[in-house]
Amino acid sequence: MADSIDEMIKGGAKVVDVRSPDEFEDEHFPNALNIPVNQLPNRMKEIGDPSSPVVLYCASGARSAMAARMLSASGFKKVVNAGGLYDMPGM
């Protein structure tokens, strides 16, 4: 799966880190947007076009799975839960 995630990112997918700001500040994937999962309902517009691909990650994959369900239910078409930060390509 890491290869397809890498391809999505190279193709311009938005990468969203749904961890807390403190976790994000400690370490994050390059150019990731930090939107904590509890803030996601009010900040989805920051992600952009719902037809564009989105790659989500957190620490273990649980919060990003929740975020993926929220985005899909809100009309986002190409949402991938990449799991934890260290599951991301190159981490």
Q: State pLDDT tens for residues 62-81.
A: 999 999 999 999 999 999 99
pLDDT at site 2: 59
**Average pLDDT of the chain, as a whole number:** 95
Q: What is the pTM of this model?
A: 0.96
pLDDT at site 90: 87
The domain limits of the chain are 2-87
pLDDT at site 38: 97
According to CATH, the topology of domain 2-87 is Oxidized Rhodanese; domain 1 (3.40.250)
- Record the tokens describing residue 55, joined without a space: 């790659």
The segments of the chain whose pLDDT lies below 70 read 1-3
- Comparing C-alpha atoms, which of 84, 16, 28 is closest to residue 55? 16
CA angle 20, 21, 27 (to 5 degrees): 95
Give the distance from CA 44 to its chain's centroid.
11
Active site residue 64: no
73-88 per-residue burial string, b: 16 or more CB within 10 A, e: under 16: eeebeebbbbbbbebb
Tell me which of 58, 71, 79, 88 is the catalytic residue. 58
